[in-house]
Amino acid sequence: MASLLQNLVDALDRECALYERLLVLSDKKTPVIVKQNLPELSKISADEQAVVSLILAVDKEREAVMNSIADVIGEKGNNLKLIDLIKLLDSRPNEQRSLAVKRDKLKSLAERVQRVNDQNQILLQSSLEMVQYEMNIIQAARRAPETANYTRRAGTRGDLIGVAPMGRFDAKQ
């Protein structure tokens, strides 16, 4: 049981370190989004994906250790959660304290990563709205209003205000 607890503590340490790396990358992403530096944003996103892959691997390892601990202590269904394990370790205060500290640190890091990612999502949404607004302006400029120039048959000619006719060669240039 002691080696399983040590394996769990080691997995939690590695997971915390990976979440710290992810937090640093997410923090780097915020000014890049503001500056609209797409190549740098792409690079940071690729780095984040690599770290997330590592986190998933360590998380699977941690779940395997938790399942092994659940088997040893006789928990049915292997639904043992870390907080439940901490409560069960009353007879081992050192391991209990160590696991509680690791759990709190991991939870705090995950919340901070979530907060930064939510902020980045809002910034990206604002950027998309700005791009949409600019696209609407460009499209509206192409759809200039028609003049009220009438033809001899009482129809409008359909001339556009402020738009040069397309397809003509300007010899004065």
- Fold of domain 2-142: Methane Monooxygenase Hydroxylase; Chain G, domain 1 (1.20.58)
The pLDDT-based confidence of 86 (bands split at 50, 70, 90) is confident
The pLDDT-based confidence of 151 (bands split at 50, 70, 90) is low
Mean pLDDT of the chain: 84
| CB 115 within 8 Å of CB 122 | no
Single-letter amino acid, residue 156: T
| CB 29 within 8 Å of CB 118 | no
Nearest to 29, CA basis, from 102, 118, 98: 118
Single-letter amino acid, residue 87: K
What's the average model confidence in pLDDT over 53-78?
86
* Residue 67 confidence (pLDDT): 87
The pLDDT-based confidence of 45 (bands split at 50, 70, 90) is very high
SS3 133: helix
d(CA 53, CA 33): 23
Q: ∠ CA(9), CA(20), CA(4), 5° rounding?
A: 10
Phi and psi at residue 150, in whole multiples of 5°?
A: -100, 150
| Tokens matching residue 109 | 């890091």
What's the average model confidence in pLDDT over 46-51?
96
pLDDT higher than threshold 90 for residue 16: yes
The pLDDT-based confidence of 152 (bands split at 50, 70, 90) is low
Every domain of the chain and the residues it spans: 2-142
d(CA 33, CA 60): 32
pTM, entire model: 0.74
| Tokens matching residue 138 | 């460009």
Q: For 107-131, how does the pLDDT look when each residue is reduced to its tens digit (9 = 90+)?
A: 999 999 999 999 999 999 998 898 8
pLDDT higher than threshold 80 for residue 158: no
What's the average model confidence in pLDDT over 20-31?
94
